[in-house]
Amino acid sequence: MKSTDVIMLRPMMPLVTEALDRHFTLHRADPAGDADRFLAEVGPRARGMAVSGVRVDGALLDRLPKLEIIANFGVGYDTIDAAEAGRRGIVVTNTPDVLTDEVADLAVGLLLATLRQIPQVDRYLRAGKWLEKPYPLTGTLRGRRIGILGLGRIGRAIAHRLEAFGVEIAYHGRSRQADVPYAYHASLLDLARAVDVLMVVAPGGPETKGIVNREVLQALGPEGVLINVARGTLVDEEALIAALSDGTIQSAGLDVFADEPRVPAGLIAQEHTVLLPHVGSASVHTRTAMGQLVVDNLVSWFSGKGPVTPVVETPWPRTAP
C-alpha cells in the first residue's frame, strides 16, 4: 500500500497524518500554498483522500480521476456531494457510532446549561455581583416536553439520557420508528406545537436547510428552548435572532452555526443564549477514535477488504453487473 497516493487538502490531527504517512504515500496540501498547483501535480494519481471540513463537489472530483475513496472525519458529511461521488463509483466513509455518546452527553449538558443559565451564573459570580444580591431564579427541566428532530443514533442516545430526567419525549423524522416508546409527529411544525424544547439532531444538507424557521419557532412558543448540536444550516439564524429578541422563544443553546467559525453578532448579543464553538465530539478520547476510523477506512479499502463505515449513498456493497 505504501505506493498508493493519498491526499489531504487540510491539516488533520497528528494521529491521522502520521498513520497515513506510514501506510501510504501521503500528499498534504500546504494551507498557504497554491491549491490549484497542488491538485494539478498530485490529483491525477490520487486514489484516496482524507478530509475534514473540505467541500468536495463535482469540480474537485474532476481533478481526481483515479480517486476511489473519500474518508471523512466526522459523522456529518454534508460538505461532500456523496451522490455525485457514488455516480462516479467513489466510496465515501464517515465516522459514526464512535462519537454518539460524546455528542449526546454534550447535548444534554447544553440543554441544562441553557435552562439553568450556567454560563451566565458563572459570569455573575466572577464579576462580583453575588456580593450585591443573589442571581435571579432560572428556568428548569422539570415538567418540560422535549422534542427531538432526527431520531438517529445520536437522537436515540439523547432520548435515552433524558428518560432518566422523567421528561416527556417526542420526535419527528422521515418515518415513524416502531421500536421506540416516544410520540411521533408527522411534521416538524406539529412537533414544535407539542413541545417546549426542540433538540435538533438531524443531518444537514439541501433538504434540511432552514427547516427550523420562523413558523416553527412561533409554534415552540414563549417558553420554548432551541438546542442545536447537528448543523447550523438547519436553523434560519435570522429568524432565530428575531425570535430571541422579541420573546417568541425563551432561549437557545447552539453548538453549530451556518457559517462557522463566524457567529452572527445578533446571536452573541443575546443574553439568554449559550453558544459553543462546535465541540460536540471534541474530547481527546472521541476525536482519537474518529481519527483512527478515518485511517481504518482507507487501510481496509486499499487492503481489498472494502470500507468499514460507508455512507448510504456510496456504491457498496458492489452490485453484480
Which positions are annotated as active-site residues? 231, 260, 278
Instruction: Give yes or no for a contact between 8 and 56, defined as CB atoms under 8 angstroms apart.
Output: no
d(CA 270, CA 277): 16
d(CA 41, CA 30): 13
Strand order in the sheet with 183-184: 183-184, 168-172, 145-149, 197-200, 225-228, 251-254, 273-275
d(CA 8, CA 270): 38
Task: With H, G, I as helix, E, B as strand and everything else as coil, classify residue 198.
Answer: strand
Task: With H, G, I as helix, E, B as strand and everything else as coil, classify residue 122.
Answer: helix
Instruction: Give yes or no for a contact between 91 and 301, defined as CB atoms under 8 angstroms apart.
Output: yes
Tell me, what amino acid is at 11? P
Instruction: Give yes or no for a contact between 313 and 77, defined as CB atoms under 8 angstroms apart.
Output: no
d(CA 92, CA 45): 18
d(CA 35, CA 262): 23
d(CA 205, CA 220): 23
Q: Could you tell me the three cell numbers for 105?
A: 452527553
Instruction: Give yes or no for a contact between 220 and 226, defined as CB atoms under 8 angstroms apart.
Output: yes
